[in-house]
Amino acid sequence: MEKNLEHISGSCLIFRLILLLILILPLNGQDSTKVIVDKDSTFYPGKPLIMSLIVPGLGQLYNKEPIWKPSLFIGSEILSLASIFYANKRADEIRMKYQEFADNNWSLQNWWNFTQSGPSVIENNGMYFTDNKLKAMRSYIGTHHLTIHLKGDLLNLFNTEFLTSDSLALISSYLGSDDISMVKDRHYYENIGKYDQFVGGWSDVSTDWYWEEKDVGDSIEIVIKTPNKQDYLEKRYQANQWLSFAKFSVSAMMFNHVLSGLEAVWANRNKDSQDVNQEKKKVDLDLGLLFNPNNNIGIGGLTLRLSF
């Protein structure tokens, strides 16, 4: 499967945001909570932030917020993890099925035979075309290639372990022998379904091939298919949909971490502000006596000191 570069870039951006929050927010929070920090050096915005970035909801537990808040973040984390594992598992199951389907319905021998004896004209609604619409499916040499693994006598004959499909003519007489096998990597399974160049390898191409028009913006592209190829493409599409869902779940999980961290910092600072205001609202009353030596009982009056 091809990596989604846009998704990777978004993940990197979120990761950088997390690092930025770790470095900046704790520093910004310490000025406004100086009174609280003096009393408890472990009570500062950076701690719940880091806790929530590691495990969403821990920062809320540290701040002693209502139980529904940490439960919400922890529940979202569990749901995201479950979605990631399930979506990847389903994608892998479908991948195994479409690869097995390709192994049973696409062969190098079929591909070579079709490129040598395939149709030279194309018919559509009773009209025949002899232009280059079929050029891609009639030639084994094109913009893409497959990798062929040589073994046994062929390995000694060609003095190399691998050949590209562009050299298919050199080994055409050996096709079907045990000394030839395909390198069935990610590119192999992608190419045989994606490009018209390889449509001749499908087992039903001789009798059931057809073509469709695809609008690509400024022109119309001819796409050649067979029922087997179409079935294969649908299975690959289903697998890619599950992989896309898994990537979405990863993004949701990372967003949950960041959101939990931001909420923990906001709640922490809001609590600090309330504590500071309460400290300012406290009224200290100090009542005392003034000493007067001229008084028989030594009391000359009262002193009252009010601080707020």
Residues 189 and 77 in one domain: no
Looking at residue 1, its pLDDT comes to: 43
13 confidence band (pLDDT: 50, 70, 90): low
Looking at residue 289, its pLDDT comes to: 47
What tokens were used for 232? 């294969």
Q: Does residue 30 surpass a pLDDT of 50?
A: no
Q: Please, what is the end-to-end C-alpha distance for the chain in angstroms?
A: 68
Looking at residue 77, its pLDDT comes to: 94
Query: Minimum mean pLDDT among 119-128, 176-185, 258-267: which range?
Result: 119-128
Looking at residue 107, its pLDDT comes to: 95
Mean pLDDT of 207-234: 86
Mean pLDDT over each residue of the chain, to the nearest integer: 78
Number of domains in the chain: 2
Max avg pLDDT among 142-156, 205-219, 267-281: 142-156
Residues 85 and 107 in one domain: no
What tokens were used for 282? 């406290």
Look at residues 238, 269, 289 and tell me which one is the last residue of a structural domain.
Answer: 238
Give the residue, 34 or 25, on which the prediction is more confident: 25
Looking at residue 121, its pLDDT comes to: 58
Asked if the structure places residue 208 within a domain, the reply is yes
Residues 245 and 225 in one domain: no
Q: What is the tens place of the pLDDT at every residue in 269-295?
A: 776 555 545 554 444 545 444 555 565
Asked if the structure places residue 213 within a domain, the reply is yes
Asked if the structure places residue 305 within a domain, the reply is no
Give the residue, 234 or 37, on which the prediction is more confident: 234
Looking at residue 250, its pLDDT comes to: 93
For the chain, the C-alpha Rg in angstroms (whole number) is: 36
Residues 54 and 172 in one domain: no
Q: What is the tens place of the pLDDT at every residue in 14-28?
A: 554 554 455 444 444
Residues 210 and 107 in one domain: yes
Binning the chain into helix, strand and coil, the percentages to the nearest 5 are 65, 15, 20
Q: Please report, rounded to a whole number, the percentage of residues in the chain having pLDDT higher than 90.
A: 42
Looking at residue 17, its pLDDT comes to: 55
Look at residues 238, 253, 286 and tell me which one is the last residue of a structural domain.
Answer: 238
Looking at residue 120, its pLDDT comes to: 62
Residues 44 and 156 in one domain: no
Residues 142 and 215 in one domain: yes
Asked if the structure places residue 58 within a domain, the reply is yes
Residues 164 and 53 in one domain: no
Q: What is the tens place of the pLDDT at every residue in 54-109?
A: 999 998 898 889 999 899 999 999 999 999 999 999 999 999 999 999 999 999 99
Residues 12 and 68 in one domain: yes
Give the residue, 246 or 222, on which the prediction is more confident: 246
Look at residues 238, 268, 290 and tell me which one is the last residue of a structural domain.
Answer: 238
Asked if the structure places residue 98 within a domain, the reply is no
Cα separation of 70 and 74, whole Å? 6
Residues 231 and 247 in one domain: no
What tokens were used for 229? 């190829």
Cα separation of 274 and 295, whole Å? 48
Residues 214 and 107 in one domain: yes
192 confidence band (pLDDT: 50, 70, 90): very high
Max avg pLDDT among 170-179, 197-206, 228-237, 264-273: 228-237
Residues 256 and 231 in one domain: no
Asked if the structure places residue 307 within a domain, the reply is no
Q: Which domain holds residue 141?
A: 103-238
- Which residue reads 């479950």 in tokens? 82
